Structure 1
Amino acid sequence: MTVTVVVGNPKAASRTSQAGVLLAEKLTGAAPDHVIELVELGPGLLGWGDEAVAAAKKTVQSSSLVVFASPTFKATYTGLLKLFLDQFEGGTGLKDVVAVPLMLGAGPAHALAPDLTLKPVLSEIGGTCALPGLYLIDSTFAEGPELDAYVERWKPVADALTALRG
């Protein structure tokens, strides 16, 4: 099983990245195989045909489980993540990928953002989005009970889905 974390934070090595890696580790019992910091792809995301973007896309498409992690900006995911997701074909771009939406924010006001904004896009491009989105407070994501409660509830589903996909 190949596990990838896609990080849509405009700052590399962010808390968003840390939370995405932690979620992937807790869901699978191992470190992710790949962490894609979209900020490192830079202007290549603004067009089509960039080799680094194509390689990142291929990595995501060959993964069994992908955590898509973003900070919450204006009640939704970042434009950086949107630019990357636009690279995928509708309906089939994430075929056979279990996609897990994760968003971090400063407070609980946007707790529904992963399910209302990110999950529909992941579904639209073909991701299997059987797990609900996870929203974490960025200052307490590592210590709070929310991450462990989510994993306890949804790890069996993630395991079953990834086992089906090989």
Structure 2
Amino acid sequence: MTVVVGNPKPASRTLTAATLVARGLRPDVEPAVLDLVEFGPALLGWGDPAVGAAVRTVADSEMVVFASPTFKATYTGLLKLFLEQFDGGTGLAGVLGVPVMLGAGPGHALAPDLLLKPVLVELGATAALPGLYLSDRTFQEDGAIDRYSDRWRPVAQALATVKATDHA
């Protein structure tokens, strides 16, 4: 399981929220965390070894939480640059992709499902879970992550088990 964070601020609230979501959905697995800001300009081109290793980590994961703050009503360019590293249609084949976005208010609550999820599907991910939109100010206290995790944990665990079995 992997967490991919597209926030231009290192060690952000987005990273905290995404890690909590991952642990809530798969409490039996400690997620690998990719804070994309750490790659800096390496994401601007092709062939960087560290970026390539990150792409392989994501592609080999049974579940990936893709998280971004809401920026100009959509996900960040940083996350977009990383997603461009994957082959269309097959780059995320076999990966359960979970879109998570944070924002200041409810005005962009549909962004994970309307903007991020279609990109993940285009890259071949299975997006069986609904996207999750969180308040960047209250996500640690409002119970939204717990409610989401309680509702969708059985689905996430079942789908992850299928991939693990397929790769055995």
Give TM-score, length-normalised by structure 1.
0.96
Q: Deviations over 1:113-156 (max 9, x none)?
A: 00000000000000010001000000111111221111111111
User: Do the aligned partners of 2:23 and 2:31 also contact (CA within 8 Å) in 1?
Assistant: no
CA distance in 2 between partners of 1:45 and 1:158 (Å): 29
**Partner SS state of residue 128, structure 2:** coil
Which residue of structure 2 aligns with residue 140 of structure 1?
138
CA distance in 2, matches of 1:158, 1:27: 6
Partner of 2:7: 9
Shift of 1:36: 0.3
Where does structure 2 lack aligned partners over 5 or more consecutive residues?
none
Match of 1:36 in 2: 34
Q: Partners of 1:115 and 1:63 in 2: how far apart? A: 21
User: 1:14-163 to 2 correspondence within 5 Å?
Assistant: 14-30=12-28, 32-163=30-161
RMSD over aligned Cα atoms:
0.9
Q: Secondary structure at the match of 1:70?
A: strand
User: For 1:23 and 1:78, how far apart are their aligned partners in 2?
Assistant: 19
Instruction: Please identify, of 138-147 and 116-125, the stretch whose mean Cα deviation from structure 2 is larger.
Output: 138-147
Distance 2:102 2:47 in 1: 30
In the alignment, the residues of structure 1 paired with residue 138 and residue 44 of structure 2 have an alpha-carbon distance, to the nearest angstrom, of: 33
Residue 31 of structure 1 deviates from its aligned partner by: 5.4
Q: In the aligned structure 1, how far is the partner of 2:32 from the partner of 2:55?
A: 12
Query: How far apart are the structure 1 equivalents of 2:23 and 2:90?
Result: 26
Structure 1 segments unaligned to the other structure (5+ residues):
none
- Counting aligned pairs with the same residue, the percent is 65
Count of paired positions: 164
User: Structure 1 counterpart of 2:130, which letter?
Assistant: P
TM-superposition CA deviations, 1:27-74 (whole Å, max 9, x none): 111453310010011111111101111010011011111000100001
Quote the Cα distance in structure 1 between the aligned partners of 2:29 and 2:163. Answer: 19
Q: Provide the rounded CA distance (Å) in 1 between the counterparts of 2:87 and 2:30.
A: 24
| 138-147 or 29-38: bigger deviation | 29-38
